[in-house]
């Protein structure tokens, strides 16, 4: 019954979309207030999608295996929490979640844009409904989460065990709030272009949506990174995996857009940047979601396995891209009064330079992510682009980027002079000296690493000074920049100070090195609801005879029958002790991986600080110069 209600709700929701388009086009010629039918239908559309989504949740909770999606991704022994989170832990359910947030955001947009011009509001509704209708058709025709299966199986196939984790349960919804928020920005900028409304007033209005999307996208990436760290056993926070890159690319574009919006809010410049970045951010968000959910990143042959779904994805994406390009080239009018060149030393110039850096970083990540896909399609050669590619191309440009982040906010609008800025030079000398001493102690390559550390310390010291000197002036910006400097420093120390030991041990054996002793004391077995756990007990003894006990696990799930490795992590303010174990096939040995990862908690904490900077900017009463 729940599946039936959910399925019919999708069809009725699509009907509401068509009615919203009809009444919007009809109301476009009317100069009076927005027709109340549009708001009512938009709210009804949202309620229908909510009903459909809860219908899918109920089907999962009740283990209704007559529903094909439930059969493929659930099992009767699965804990209730993961039955619920399994609703969006699959392709069909995740797209329904996308649709839910899409309809929620357009309803909230209508409520919060009452003071905006009517033509702009209606055009935004029309562009947003094009996206929503596309999702309705995609769901109903190729990815229906309510397909019926007969005869009804007694058991389901179960959810992938690595997805049965609290962090991953919250990661997709939060990430999608960031992704789908960019759809409102996309629809809004197209509507504003058509109605010639790319102004300071529009920038103030749309800024809240940019910040909301940016906050949720940042937090979503953070949760995904934390999950991968302790669940996949990689032992790190970022590995330039294609799925990771898919979420990073819209974040880079959205961060650049946020700075451009702040400039547009002050001065009517960078309008072309704002339009292009708004289009690019949404395109990257939607492309990323489809690429991950369609499996293209894992294998381009997903298109061959499901040509109907792949073809729809391509047509829908290209339709939106061509629509946005058409609007940009035919409706965007550049105000010649505001296209004067910038002075070299000005806040506008610093933001523009940082925009180019961010676009360069975005291009590197984009090429590294999609090049293997195109190569596989063209020549059937499978390659992977790893961390060395990104590090070699990004690190040299990261140095001037950090320096510009430190100096740029100190400049004035229009024209600035570096008078009475002695502290800028002083902090740079201090940063350079401190970095040189640290690099000497670490005994690594001096030149590039000294300058890299110095630029990160420089941004750190400058933003830290601003907290004491400026107080609440530009506080949101200072918080975000301080968090970013802390992130870069934490990453650098984590990268250069991490240690790793990989060895094979039997129960009762001991590994010994100059600085560390690992004793494999025993194993224990534990029966849980849907898996059996083999828990190893290890005593880690360092030079000072301090003993730490770590208990990594092997979990044997009953449905699907998969063995996973669960890391044990001991965290303090300075470092993480990280251990995983895996059974060596056909032997009594266990493969043991022990890592010491400095400043891991500061990496997570710094992203929270960055997000809080955005939240503070959203909540404060007015924009501060």
d(CA 608, CA 591): 35
User: Regarding predicted confidence, which is higher, 72 or 1?
Assistant: 72
Mean pLDDT of 166-188: 89
Q: Which residues pair with 547 in a beta bridge?
A: 541
- Please tell me whether the peptide bond between 125 and the residue prior to it is cis, using omega within 30 degrees of 0: no
Q: Give the list of residues 6+ apart from residue 546 with CB closer than 8 angstroms, or none.
A: none
Give residue 299's pLDDT band: very low, low, confident or very high (50, 70, 90): very low
Strands (E), 11-102: none
568 and 550 in contact (C-beta within 8 Å)?
yes
pLDDT tens-digit profile of 350-396?
A: 888 999 999 999 999 999 988 887 887 788 777 778 888 999 999 99
Give residue 623's pLDDT band: very low, low, confident or very high (50, 70, 90): very low
Q: Does residue 235 have a pLDDT over 80?
A: no
482 and 464 in contact (C-beta within 8 Å)?
yes
d(CA 123, CA 525): 62
d(CA 483, CA 201): 29
Residue 417: what pLDDT? Answer: 66
Q: How many helices (H) and strands (E) does the chain have?
A: 18, 10
Q: Does residue 463 have a pLDDT over 50?
A: yes
φ, ψ of residue 467 in degrees (nearest 5): -60, -40
Q: Which residues pair with 532 in a beta bridge?
A: 527, 556
Give domain limits for the chain: 1-164, 499-601
- Average pLDDT score, the chain: 86
d(CA 163, CA 24): 42
Task: Report the C-alpha dihedral over residues 241, 243, 249, 250, rounded to 10 degrees.
Answer: -160
125 and 106 in contact (C-beta within 8 Å)?
yes
Give residue 562's pLDDT band: very low, low, confident or very high (50, 70, 90): confident
Place of tokens 């500061």: 602
d(CA 13, CA 146): 15
Reading phi first (left if > 0) and then psi (alpha if -120 to 50, else beta), residue 508 is in left
Q: Does residue 621 have a pLDDT over 70?
A: no
Mean pLDDT of 275-296: 80
User: Within a 13 Å sphere around the CA of 233, how many CA atoms are in the beta-carbon half?
Assistant: 18
d(CA 300, CA 375): 10
Q: Give the list of residues 6+ apart from residue 389 with CB closer than 8 angstroms, or none.
A: 240, 368
Place of tokens 């690595």: 162
DSSP 443: T
d(CA 64, CA 76): 9
φ, ψ of residue 201 in degrees (nearest 5): -65, -40
pLDDT tens-digit profile of 598-614?
A: 999 999 999 999 999 99
Q: Which two tokens stand for residue 53?
A: 């989504």
Q: Give the list of residues 6+ apart from residue 323 with CB closer than 8 angstroms, or none.
A: 130, 190
Place of tokens 């990261």: 398
The most confident of the ranges 158-162, 360-364, 425-429, 566-570 is: 360-364
Q: Where are the alpha helices (DSSP H) in 195-306?
A: 200-231, 242-266, 271-294, 302-305
User: Within a 13 Å sphere around the CA of 429, how many CA atoms are in the beta-carbon half?
Assistant: 5
d(CA 379, CA 366): 20
Residue 557: what pLDDT? Answer: 85
DSSP 584: P
d(CA 390, CA 384): 12
Which sign does the torsion angle of CA 363, 369, 371, 373 carry?
A: negative
Q: Give the list of residues 6+ apart from residue 107 with CB closer than 8 angstroms, or none.
A: 42, 43, 45, 46
Q: Does residue 625 have a pLDDT over 60?
A: no
pLDDT tens-digit profile of 26-36?
A: 888 776 777 78
d(CA 620, CA 625): 13
Task: Report the C-alpha dihedral over residues 11, 16, 22, 26, rounded to 10 degrees.
Answer: 170
């Amino acid at each position: 019954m729940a599946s039936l209600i959910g399925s019919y709700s999708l069809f009725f929701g699509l009907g509401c979309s068509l009615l919203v388009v009809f009444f919007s086009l009809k109301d476009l010629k009317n100069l009076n207030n927005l027709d109340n039918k549009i708001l009512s239908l938009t709210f009804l559309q949202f309620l229908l999608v909510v009903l459909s989504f809860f219908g899918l949740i109920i089907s999962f909770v009740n283990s209704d295996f007559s529903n094909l999606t439930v059969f493929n991704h659930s099992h009767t022994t699965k804990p209730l929490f993961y039955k619920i989170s399994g609703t969006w832990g699959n392709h069909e359910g995740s797209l329904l979640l996308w649709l839910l947030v899409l309809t929620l955001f357009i309803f909230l947009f209508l409520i919060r844009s009452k003071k905006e011009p009517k033509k702009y509001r209606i055009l935004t509704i029309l562009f947003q409904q094009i996206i929503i209708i596309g999702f309705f058709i995609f769901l109903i025709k190729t990815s229906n989460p309510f397909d019926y299966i007969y005869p009804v199986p007694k058991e389901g196939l179960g959810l992938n065990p690595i997805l049965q984790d609290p962090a991953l349960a919250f990661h997709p919804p939060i990430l999608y709030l960031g992704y789908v928020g960019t759809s409102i920005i996309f629809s809004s900028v197209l509507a504003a272009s058509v109605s010639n409304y790319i102004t300071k007033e529009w920038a103030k209005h749309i800024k809240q949506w940019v910040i909301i999307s940016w906050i949720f996208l940042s937090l979503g990436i953070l949760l995904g990174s934390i999950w991968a760290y302790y669940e996949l056993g990689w032992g790190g926070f970022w590995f330039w995996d294609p799925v990771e890159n898919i979420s990073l690319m819209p974040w880079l574009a959205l961060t650049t857009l946020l700075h451009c919006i702040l400039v547009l809010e002050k001065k009517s410049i960078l309008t072309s940047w704002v339009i292009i970045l708004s289009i690019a951010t949404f395109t990257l968000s939607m492309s990323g979601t489809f690429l991950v959910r369609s499996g293209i990143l894992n294998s381009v042959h997903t298109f061959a396995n499901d040509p109907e779904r792949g073809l729809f994805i391509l047509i829908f994406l290209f339709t939106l891209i061509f629509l946005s390009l058409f609007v940009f080239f035919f409706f965007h009018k550049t105000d010649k009064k505001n296209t004067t060149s910038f002075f070299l030393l000005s806040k506008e110039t610093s933001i523009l330079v940082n925009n180019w850096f961010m676009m360069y970083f975005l291009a590197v990540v984009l090429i590294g992510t999609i090049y293997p896909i195109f190569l596989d399609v063209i020549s059937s050669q499978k390659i992977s682009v790893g961390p060395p590619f990104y590090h070699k191309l990004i690190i040299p440009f990261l140095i001037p980027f950090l320096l510009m982040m430190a100096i740029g906010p100190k400049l004035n609008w229009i024209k600035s002079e570096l008078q009475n800025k002695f502290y800028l030079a002083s902090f740079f000398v201090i940063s350079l000296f401190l970095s040189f001493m640290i690099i000497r102690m670490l005994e690594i390559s001096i030149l590039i690493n000294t300058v890299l550390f110095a630029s990160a310390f420089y941004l750190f010291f400058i933003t830290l000074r601003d907290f004491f000197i400026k107080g609440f002036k530009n506080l949101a910006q200072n918080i975000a920049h301080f968090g970013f400097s802390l992130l870069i420093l934490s990453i650098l120390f984590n990268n250069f100070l991490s240690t790793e030991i990989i060895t094979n041990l039997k129960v009762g054996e001991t590994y010994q090195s100059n600085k560390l002793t690992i004793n494999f004391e025993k194993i224990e077995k534990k029966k849980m609801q849907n898996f059996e756990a083999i828990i190893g007990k290890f005593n880690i003894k360092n030079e000072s005879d301090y003993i730490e006990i770590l208990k990594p696990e092997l979990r044997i799930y009953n449905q699907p029958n998969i063995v996973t490795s669960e890391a044990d992590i001991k965290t303090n303010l300075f470092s993480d002790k990280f251990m995983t174990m895996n059974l060596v096939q056909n032997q009594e040995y266990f493969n043991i991986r022990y890592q010491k990862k400095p400043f891991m908690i500061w990496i997570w904490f710094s992203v929270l600080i960055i997000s809080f900077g955005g939240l503070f900017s959203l909540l404060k009463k007015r924009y501060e110069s």
